[in-house]
Amino acid sequence: MISCADGEEDNPSLVAGQSGMMGARRMAGVRKVQRMRFLAVSSIILGVAVAAGHALASGGPQGIWRMSKGKVTVRVVPCGGSYCGMVVALRKPRDGHGHWRLDKENPNPALRSRPVIGLTILSNMRTVGTGAWSGTIYNPDDGKTYSSSMRLFGPSTMTVSGCVAGVLCKSMKFIRVD
């Protein structure tokens, strides 16, 4: 038998916590670990809830968002019962000849002279869940409109996806700048 610091011997009945001072100490240690796990899990849940609540409290997707690579900056605003987004800045606002970038790929020839800055590219983005919206996105690079979704990940990160036939999708990460 092994002698404990307080003079008790270590035996199976004490290790199992059935009686004695050593068993009570082990049970207290187990309870302490359980409390620590509970507090850790509770903290994580609370953190996620606060982040989601902050995102909702900050007006959902409303605000100014820059694509993570900086190519485009969009202002998302309420439009009736949905949201829409307009291009407010481009990393390269002018073409190689110094002219403003135009919506030159638009299928409607009458609209090809519009500047890209000022174009509404996100339209009819309706709520489909907490922190999620669905609508359409116009891509002035190819002149096509795609089904789209937006999803918030905390108060300052949003992904926007554009899909062809709901199968082939491309996602872009945006960072809140306002």
Total domains in the chain come to 2
Q: Are residues 49 and 72 in the same domain?
A: no
Region of poorest pLDDT, from 97-111, 118-132, 159-173: 159-173
Give tens-digit pLDDT for 33-60: 665 555 444 444 434 344 344 444 456 9
Q: Are residues 94 and 142 in the same domain?
A: yes
Name the 3-class secondary structure at 54. helix
Over range 81-108, report the average pLDDT. Answer: 96
Query: Which residue in 122, 120, 115, 109 sits closest to 94, CA to CA?
Result: 115
The first and second tokens of residue 41, run together, are: 């899990």
Domain holding 99, by residue range, is: 63-176
Q: Are residues 144 and 84 in the same domain?
A: yes
Query: Which residue in 147, 151, 126, 128 sits closest to 136, CA to CA?
Result: 147
Buried b (16+ CB within 10 A) or exposed e, 32-62: eeeeeeeeeeeeeeeeeeebbeebeebebbe
Give tens-digit pLDDT for 120-142: 999 999 999 999 999 999 999 99
Which of 39, 57, 75 finishes a domain?
57
Q: What single-letter DSSP state applies at residue 119?
A: -
Rounded Cα gap, residues 11 and 159, in angstroms? 59
Q: Are residues 122 and 88 in the same domain?
A: yes
From the CA atom positions of the chain, what is the Rg in Å?
28
Classify residue 7 by burial, with Cβ atoms within 10 Å: 0-12, 13-18, 19+.
Answer: exposed
Q: Are residues 113 and 29 in the same domain?
A: no
The first and second tokens of residue 59, run together, are: 């007006």
Over range 91-115, report the average pLDDT. Answer: 96
Q: Are residues 162 and 123 in the same domain?
A: yes
Q: Are residues 15 and 85 in the same domain?
A: no
Helix and strand totals (H; E) in the chain: 2, 10
CATH number for position 140: 2.40.128.520
Q: What single-letter DSSP state applies at residue 102?
A: B
* Beta-carbon count within 10 A of 84 CB: 19
Q: Are residues 115 and 52 in the same domain?
A: no
Residues 6+ apart with CB under 8 A from 72: 66, 87, 89, 90, 91
